[in-house]
Amino acid sequence: MKHFMGEEWKVRPAGGATGEAYIAQHGDQKIFIKRNSSPFLAVLSAEGIVPKLLWTKRLENGDVITAQRWVNGRELKSPEMCEGRVARLLAKIHRSEELLDMFMRMGNTPLTPADLLQNLNERISHFKIKDPYISEAMKWLSASMEGLDFETSVVCHADVNHNNWIMSDDNLFLIDWDGAIMADPALDLAQLLYLYVPKNQWENWLKEYGLTYSANLKYRLRWYMISQCVESILWRWQRQEYHEMTKWSDLLFQLLQETEFHC
């Protein structure tokens, strides 16, 4: 990366799971560089969802390098996820026709609940995982899938963890779009609400987002959160991060106790 930028630039890793992000600095000029970033970064930039895209270059080996304006911001803290600005930005993302159009033109198709369930079943079978909570969760998800009624799929970020929300001056950004999918908007909403917003504030938070907290939405939120718990347990089990599995197992147990279906 340093060779690509030139000797006058000081380049250092920006961290992150992929190791493909860098911070480049030349005097007072500072930019964020990423290799093979999300192909719809230009649309995200144009809509103010991520920091401004400065340029895109394709290397001889086919890799694409993108540069974005560096923002002196900070990650949101967990309690700040309850704020209306988070709800409004997520609503803007989910209702962006430009983002959805770009995503579809790239050949993406919606992730259905059946697709999600099949993926989980395949991973459970592959890793030969036998856990009573996961078994009950998968039976409930399968039995309850027919009740998932939603009108349209939207572009979902799919990882709305507070670490991906960046506050800079008066601007709020949602970064790290590598795992974005087309799906029921409740997929994003479930993770955000269950992990960050007290239940007695859900109705007001959803008003800021632009939705009424209905029985249908409540059902979908629970379905996607149970599936997210299973996904998170599998993800950490695969990486042998057993100590990180506890909170997800506890939340899964709590959610299963609230369902009308028990094994």
Distance CA(228)–CA(215), nearest Å, equals: 20
Query: How far apart (Å, rounded) are the C-alpha atoms in residues 199 and 203?
Result: 8
154 has which bridge partners?
A: 183
Q: How many secondary structure helices (H) and strands (E) does the chain include?
A: 10, 10
Supply 120's token pair: 């989980």
Task: Give ∠ CA 204-207-212 in degrees, rounded to 5.
Answer: 105
250 is catalytic: no
| Helix H or strand E segment including 202 | helix 202-209
How far CA 149 is from CA of 157, 185, 216, in Å, comes to 20, 12, 7
Which of 159, 169, 184, 250 is labelled catalytic?
Answer: 159
C-beta of residue 99 within 8 angstroms of C-beta of residue 41: no
Instruction: Return d(Cα 96, Cα 4) in angstroms, integer.
Output: 34
Catalytic residues: 159
